[in-house]
Amino acid sequence: MRHINLLHTALFLALSSACMAQTKFKPEDTEFYEPKPRVVMNNAQVPNDAIVLFDGKNLDKWESKNNPSQAVPWTIKDAVLTVKPSTGDIQTKDKFEDFQLHIEWKSPETIKGEGQGRGNSGIFLQGMYEVQVLDNDDNPTYVNGQAGSIYKQRPPLVEVRSDKDKWHRYDIIYKAPRFNIDGMLISKATVTILHNGVLVQNNTQIEGTTEYIGLPKLQAHGPGPIVLQDHGDLVHFRNIWIRPL
């Protein structure tokens, strides 16, 4: 990536000096051919350069967060992954920095509880920053805790309701925070989220960890896993893939 930036910088400087000299441009002066973007196919709704984290068959890419050596206790039935309450969160074995993540989720069939106690789960980016999953249908709660929020920080731009089949889709584009070699913050994490194709977070800055109580915490860290939350509700997941960026 760095050499691309250098190339663009060199091009910009060349053009700037050309401007100052009032050079007359030809079209090809501002066209370049290298490096070429990679070719990616998306014929089966999963880009062919994506890492498939869950395709309905197994949880080989996942581990229990509390007991990584144990098999993941959540259940798979009819190609759908379901939280097994009180067994704890699960996380990817791989760790990630910047990425594009696709994940689909559905609230429990049996409606029970209210507010944060109804259909609650979550997707923790780098294991620290929660994108909320919640049954929002006629279920008032604090807006920075509803589905599509960055938990306790930013509500979604709009409330997206589920389709006929009740499945929701999140497409999450995440840029990790940057720290210098001394652990000082250079830039905070940012996230863009499409919920069922509708923009709900637009390059939102993440202030730090998404705490239930208290203010966000921000400490230097490296790559982290995708974590799915066990909040005690039978939330379903399917079709999870990620493209490191």
Q: Determine contact, residues 212/65, Cβ cutoff 8 Å.
A: no
Would you count residue 156 as binding Mg ion (CB under 5 A)?
A: no
Stretch near Mg ion under the rule CB under 5 A, chosen from 47-55, 59-67, 113-121, 213-221: 113-121
- DSSP helix/strand/coil, 164: coil
Q: Does 120 bind Mg ion (CB under 5 A)?
A: yes
- If the CB atoms of residues 120 and 139 are measured against Mg ion, the closer one turns out to be 120
CA distances from 68 to 60, 99, 131, 191 (A): 12, 23, 23, 28
Binding mask 203-242 for Mg ion (x = CB under 5 A): --------------------------x-------------
Question: Interface with Mg ion includes 136 (CB under 5 A)?
Answer: no
Q: Report how many residues bind Mg ion under the rule CB under 5 A.
A: 3
**Amino acid (one-letter) located at 177:** P
Contact between 147 and 136 under an 8 Å Cβ cutoff? The reply is: yes
How far, CA to CA in Å, does 75 sit from each of 6, 53, 71? 49, 15, 11
Q: In angstroms, what is the minimal distance from the CB of 145 to Mg ion? A: 8
Task: Using the minimum distance from each CB to Mg ion, give the nearer residue, 64 or 121.
Answer: 121
Positions that interact with Mg ion (CB under 5 A):
120, 122, 229
